[in-house]
Amino acid sequence: MIKRTIFIISFIILASSPGAMAGEQEDRLYNSLMKETASDEKRKLAEQLGRLGTADAKAKLIRLLNDSSSWNRRIAVKGLFLLPGGAGPELFERMQSDNMIDDDIAEGFSAHIGAYQGFLAEKYRSLSNQKERELIISIIASGKKPQGEAFLKGIIEDEGSGDRECAFRNLAVHFPSGNYRYIKSRRDIPAFRVHALTYCAERGTPEDLAIFRDVIDKKEEAKCRLVAYKAVNRWGDDALKHRVFLDSLGEQDENLAQGGIYVFTGVGSDAIRKALCRLAKKGKYQVTRMAAARRLKEYTAPDIIPALVVILRENYVPRERGGADIFATIITFGITSVFDDISQKRQRSSFESGKKEIAGHLRKITGADNGDSYSRWYEWAILNGHTILGDNIIRHLFSGYRSRREKAVEPAIRLLGYPSGRDFFSKNGTFSSDIELSLALARMLIAKGFLKDED
């Protein structure tokens, strides 16, 4: 009887011990998590499981990390980063193999860098794959801890490292304060140049303008000149801004033309207007033509009409093979802040809204309303003395279609300055045929300068 009593008491004590209670709690949390359908509640349950910090809690979260549902795997990441003992190896391995949650894991390492920097630094030294090493560099840098800065500078100073450029770029982006002299002094190292120039353009002083004028005058590679544009726009006088912008519009590399258009806002002149008209009509790539047309909305001179009308005939091109894509050029170097809204300018919605804005500007400067229809604006422009894609009113006067010839007569008379057909015929007599009339009108229009090539 005494032995039986002792056994019962011992069982009660064991059942009520922290280990037994913990096991029950882990099971309860895990089972509740698997049944839960609300994402926020699932996350809270996973985080509670992680905070328990027990081996069983970790095992359950690891099981969840390997679940077939990416939703559950993402939830597991939240819990594992709260484990007091950590789960670095498991998370890192999963980050390398699971593109559904790799960003979540990378962000988790960055957010908890104090606990994981040692592990990641050791992992960096053991890896042979450059892409994996660069991922670790970016994670440690984004944690923005002093140890991270020292880690980056260690790589930068190692001339035998193949990761120096990656480390330097991350230093400039994530540790800008207190590193002005360090970064600027390394601008002549080829691998560091564009990153150092970007840093100076964003963090430097007016005295740095000379550096960027030299970049432009020496016609350095496009990515360096794109950064120089920002510095010129920031510190240059009006004359320098105008010169650099105008030169950019004439560059063969349309990345530079686009860069000038995006950077030099508020800079304009007759020469710039004409250069923008040329690009809107004859730019090699749609992104260039649309960027130029958008800037032409700043002008009201009649010579912008053909350029704006021509844009209305275009359909959205999502990706142009071999195209000048300034966004792709600069994002590689981490300098998207130079052109904050470029990615939005690449979207179909922006392209379509741009065409509507252009049609609205045509209404504003002409008083005509042809919606955003290219064919209607095309006809309006031709009959009002403009040349569109080599076509003009004189060609219409000699069209093989009689209806088109007749339709062009009244506008031609008006372009010659006559208030009406009656006034024209009273001063010029009658004509034996419509061909003779067309010849007479054409000669007068040519004499007044209406037959000229497009710029």
Q: Three-class SS string for 33-61?
A: HHHCCCHHHHHHHHHHHHHHCCHHHHHHH
CA distance 449 to 387: 12
Which helix or strand (DSSP H or E) is residue 245 part of?
helix 238-249
Query: Degrees (nearest 5) of the Cα angle 93, 94, 95?
Result: 90
Angstrom distance (rounded) from CA 178 to CA 433: 84
3-state secondary structure of 391: strand
Q: Is residue 218 a part of any domain in this protein?
A: no
Q: What is the pLDDT of residue 329?
A: 55
Structural domain contains residue 150? no
* In-domain check, residue 171: no
CATH of the domain at 114: 1.25.10.10
Task: Indicate the residue among 145, 173, 200 that finishes a domain.
Answer: 145
Q: Is residue 48 in a domain?
A: yes
Taking alpha carbons only, the member of 145, 190, 188, 189 closest to residue 170 is: 145
Residue 410 domain-assigned (yes or no): yes
CA within 13 Å, CB half, 231 = 28
In a domain, 340, yes or no: no
The residue out of 99, 118, 145 marking a domain boundary is: 145
26 lies in some domain: yes
**Of the residues 110, 127, 145, which one is the last residue of a structural domain?**
145
- Total domain count for the chain? 2
What is the spatial distance between Cα 430 and Cα 300, in angstroms, rounded to a whole number? 38
Residues of the chain with pLDDT under 70: 1-22, 320-346, 451-455
The C-alpha atoms of residue 358 and residue 364 are separated, in whole angstroms, by 10
Q: Which two tokens stand for residue 395?
A: 């060609």
CA distance 39 to 33: 10
Q: What is the DSSP letter of 218?
A: T
At residue 110's C-alpha, the angle toward residues 59 and 77, to 5°, is 25
Q: Which residue range is the domain that position 122 belongs to?
A: 21-145
* Within a domain: 77: yes
Measured in degrees and rounded to the nearest 5, phi and psi for residue 388 equal: -120, 115
| Alpha-helix residue ranges (DSSP H) falling in 143-191 | 146-156, 164-174, 180-184
Query: Around 111, how many Cα atoms within 13 Å sit in the side-chain half-sphere?
Result: 11
Residue pair 205/186 in contact (Cβ under 8 Å)? The answer is no
